[in-house]
Every structure is written in C-alpha cells, then in structure tokens.
Structure 1
C-alpha cells in the first residue's frame, strides 16, 4: 500500500485519485468522510477535498481492516482509541469468523443432503436400507420412484422429509408400516367389514403414516388405494400380505372417505 501510494501520488490527492489508488469508490470515501472515519485534511480554494499523505495512510489502514472483516465502528476504535488492543480485536474477529464458517459448513451440509434427497430419495446406502426395511427390500425402488414422480410436488415434499430423516427414524417408520400391514392382513382374515369403525381406524392410520412421506389428503388416499388395487405390482404386493387385501383396502378407504363427505368416485389427486 505504502509503495503504491509513493509511486502514484506526488503531493496531496483529490478524491478521485485517492479512490483509484485505493481501489475504492468516490461514494465510499465521501461516506467515510461524513461519518468521521477517514476525512481529508485539506481543501482546494474551490472547496474540493484533498487527502494528505497521512490521510492516505489512514485510508489504507481502514481498507486493510475492512478486508479483514471488521466493522467500521470496530475500525474506528482500532484507529482512534489508544487503549484498544488490536490483537484482541482481531482475535475476536477470528472467533466470529470461525462461528460463521461453522454455520456456513452446516448450511452446505443441509443443502447437500437436500440435493441428494431430491436426486436419490432415501439417503441411505443399499445395506442401510435393507437393515432398516428388511432383507426383501429393493433399494432401487426409491431411485425408480424418482423417474415416475420426480417432477411432482409430492416428490419434492418426500425429499424434504427425507433430507432430515435419520436411519433410526426410517427404521421406526418402517416398523410402524409393517405393524399396520399385519393389522390390515388380520382384519381381512377376520372379515372386518369395510365402513366399520375398525376399518375406518385402519384407513386413518394408513393416511397418517403415509403423511410422513408427503401430506396425504383423503381424496389422494382414495386415488392411492385405487392404484394399489389396479396396478399388478402393487396388487400382488398387498395380496401377498393378506389374501384379497388390495380390494378390501380400497373398499375400506372408499367407505372412510364417504364418512368424511367425499365421494370416492369423483376423488382427485388433491
């Protein structure tokens, strides 16, 4: 800084020259003058500001401390208060910077998880998924789902939940779903009537559990149950849990919807 000023300025400097040499704007120098942080000591007969060598030296120190991240008030204390311990001030600035770096690293990690969740669905390795969901689980399912649902609001909501969900939370959710499926199979075996209180309770448990993936309205649940019955893959899965479960479950969800004033024949994905 000193050698640069020596080589480029001979005598007092106007605001424009000082700004160019220091890499600042004229507006910045005017502001620092207005707040009394770094003011020119002289003026031309016409009233224009002139910075002396000492003025430029102070400006250089302001620039140096500003680049180190100090606030203008802190810089003023460093330059004007003889009792200020500069080393202590800089150490405090480093401590604040370390906190900011830590916060930014955490933010970066959250953004990375959110990005991965939108692209992969479940943020666990194949082995971790099998451990959480059982050995029969196919880790390709969540990846395949992205190609089907990736452009939907529900996939975005699923990813948002997934990004903050731990392996233990996934395991607990999987266990709750398995328990529900066993209860559904038991209800089918006992010929529980769709529309009964027990069937309604099971339908509501399913809706609440499924809402851990994305908010599931009753109308959406009706559409989902129809897919469970009509799609050969889903029908085979549910009928494997309990004979005739895909149809019984669809009927039970239809009746539950009717009890809440929804006509299942006109239900839409909303």
Structure 2
C-alpha cells in the first residue's frame, strides 16, 4: 500500500519497500495513549508481523512529539471502557479497589509491551520531541531508537508516589545510578545524553530524522528474516536471564501498591495528578 491507512483514526499504517510505518496519530494531544490507541497499535503490529513482505517495523508519532505518555487528562481518556482483550486477563471495568488498575494494566501496559517486545521482526522507534512515561515504554520495547536532537526522555511518576512506569526497564536501559537520578528527579534527559548512556542508537537533526531512520530500516531489511528473528530472540533472552522480566514483575507489584496507597490516602489512584497538574509541577521544579 502506498498511502497510510487509518486504524480507528488514532494509528496510521503504511508499508514502504518492506518497511511497516506505524504512526501514533493523536497529535493534538501529543500522542497521549488511551486504550483505543493501544489496541490499535496492537492491530497494526499484528498486521506487520503477519505480512511476509514486511521485514522491519518503524514506530513513530505524528506532530511535534513522539508521545506524552499515558492519557491521564484528554477528552478521549477511556480508562473506564471495556475492549476486546488480547490476553487472558479478565475485564477491569467495575472491579473494586486496587483490582481495577491491576487487571487493566496487566493487559494494556505490561502485557501489551511484552507482547510487542517479542515480535520476531526488528523494530525501530523514531523519536522526536517528548518521550515521557508511557512513551518511554513504547520506545523501549523497540530494538533500536533513533532520536532527533530536540528529543528528550522523562519518567516523572515518582511525583505521584509511584516507582516508575509499568514496563520497568530503567535499570536495563540505563546504568543503575543514572536510572536512580532519572527517577528521583523526574527531569528530562536530552537525546544526546540518552545516546551516551546506551539508550539511544543515533541522534540526528530533526529534518533528517525520517530519512536516517528509514535508511537504517532498509539496510536491516536486506538481512534474512529468520536470522533477524533469531538474533533478536537471542538478545531478548539474554536480557531476561540478566533479570529484566523478573525486575518488571517485582516493580509492577510495587507500582500497584502505590496506586492502592494513593487511593486510600487521597481518594485518587494517581495521587491527585492529571496531565495539567504534572506539567505544572514540572514547570515549578524548573523555576
């Protein structure tokens, strides 16, 4: 196909020369991820995996930013809605207390991200502007990250009393002390520092970001499909032997203890924060 096809309007799908371009398409909300987008991403990734003509998958965000994270404040927030689930977790809707988010996030956050990390085809995140919290999760499941010079990475959820996003890869993406700094301060990490830490493969000017990313994808696409799949599986399995999966399971429990604590103390699972309050707190911290 030569032109992008809309998947429920929030994700675009296009194939060029054996490369699947999966585009988050909520630019008016900086590609904040509601469940509608998450499930549409899963459909797009499944389509790319099933298409033998596709050798490499590129994930990108429309507009100024890659992704501002989970949707905690747009008119399209759909946390209370049911969707056709991809795992054997039960529906979260109408469940009491901490069970509500625990069931939901096993499906749409931890479960989906692990599902995408294990896709047999190479994936590249093309990151511009903000890559925050849930946006980190989407970039981190990809095998490679190419970032523009204006890109930055941030996980600010400690401000909510939460130890980090659900797909907790921080200590595998960064040196442990750098991971602590990243979490304790919740400040933006510029693309170039992320490259120095080994989290990003390339940093390029914004106006050539797409060209550089697609050139990288084309060169990878020249390799045999099975060789790529086996190489990816080998590295992923090695990461898991080093504790990546076990770390995520442990921190996911701490994450949901924090949600439950917030609800008990303040009556709000996010400790009283929405998107505007988080942005305001960041501005205050920088002043």
TM-score, with structure 2 as normaliser: 0.20
If asked which structure has higher relative contact order (CA below 8 Å, sep 6+), I would say 2
Relative to its length, the structure with more strand (as a share) is: 2
Larger proportion of helix: 1
TM-score, structure 1 as length reference: 0.20
